[in-house]
Amino acid sequence: MEQAAIRTEGLTKTYRSGANDLTVFANLNFSVAQGERVALTGASGAGKSSLLHCIGGLDRPSKGKIFCGDRDLQTLTEKELAEYRNLEVGFVWQIHYLLPEFSAEENVMMPLLIRGVPHAAASREALARLDEVGLRARAHHRAGELSGGEQQRVVLARALVGRPKYLLADEPTGNLDERTGEMIGGLLRDLHRTHGLTSVYVTHNPTFARSCDRVLCLQNGELAHV
């Protein structure tokens, strides 16, 4: 049997809230196959983003294990987790978090520069990814000079510039109008295929969710197939 790209065992996340503990999910056991596109749905506050952050190595679960390939993220040091995030994961957020003082090209280059890639090589890769999302001509424009849809395409280019294995997106169409959201959704589908990704998307958009291979709903701390 082919190894799952992402697999969890007994995953639990609890936050301290005043004098009480708040458990957002408990004992989650699920897997994502290599090359699969999974939509993660559920009400606001259900814990979807917390789950995505744990898979992406941005947060640690309170209990349980997360395997990405054959690696248990719980066994990694903070330095190793940072390397995992930089080398293997592409992130797309509802808020773009682009650096306003830099151009689109420079924003896309950033993960490679952090990795130590020479400037010229990082620039070539950044321009190639911007071309892929249809923004090569806007490469030298700063974030504030771009529309919301263009900014989100820069975020996609930045997420993919390091050639990750996993794409994790939190409400990638959430701040966009319907038409632009559909365009970004189609672009996510095409980039998933051309880059051979395994993708998990948190979304409230039912149309986008239905376009994925599988839809999971996080409700009352448990995951259910939709």
- Convert the pLDDT of each residue in 153-202 to its tens digit: 999 999 999 999 999 999 998 888 888 889 999 999 999 999 999 999 99
**Which residues, other chains included, contact 164 with Cβ-Cβ below 8 Å and sequence gap of 6+?**
87, 88, 89, 90, 197
- For 102, list phi and psi in degrees, rounded to 5: -110, 160
Looking at residue 49, its pLDDT comes to 93
CA angle 32, 37, 45 (to 5 degrees): 80
pLDDT score for 111: 93
What does the pLDDT read at residue 2? 62
Go through 198-222 and write b for each residue having 16 or more CB atoms within 10 A of its CB, e for each that does not: bbbbbbebeebbebbeebbbbeeee
Whether the pLDDT of residue 1 is over 60: the answer is: no
**67-111 pLDDT per residue, tens:** 998 899 999 999 999 999 999 999 998 777 899 999 999 999 999
Predicted local distance difference test score (pLDDT) of residue 45 = 83
Q: Quote the CA–CA distance of 20 and 44 in Å, as a whole number.
A: 21
Closest CA to 198 of 158, 166, 164, 161: 166
The whole-angstrom separation of Cα 76 and Cα 89 is: 15
Quick: pLDDT tens for 14-70. 988 778 888 899 999 999 999 999 999 998 888 999 999 999 999 999 999 999 988
Integer Cα distance of 196 and 178 in angstroms:
27
8-20, pLDDT tens digit by residue? 999 999 988 778 8
**Ramachandran assignment for 100, one of left (phi > 0), alpha (psi -120 to 50 degrees), beta (any other):** alpha
| Residue 118 scores a pLDDT above 80 | yes
The H or E element that residue 125 is part of is: helix 119-132
Residue at token pair 């709903």? 217
Give the pLDDT band (50/70/90) at residue 226.
Answer: confident
CATH number of 35-57+76-214: 3.40.50.300
Query: Alpha-carbon distance 206 to 136, whole Å?
Result: 31
Range 196-215 average pLDDT:
94
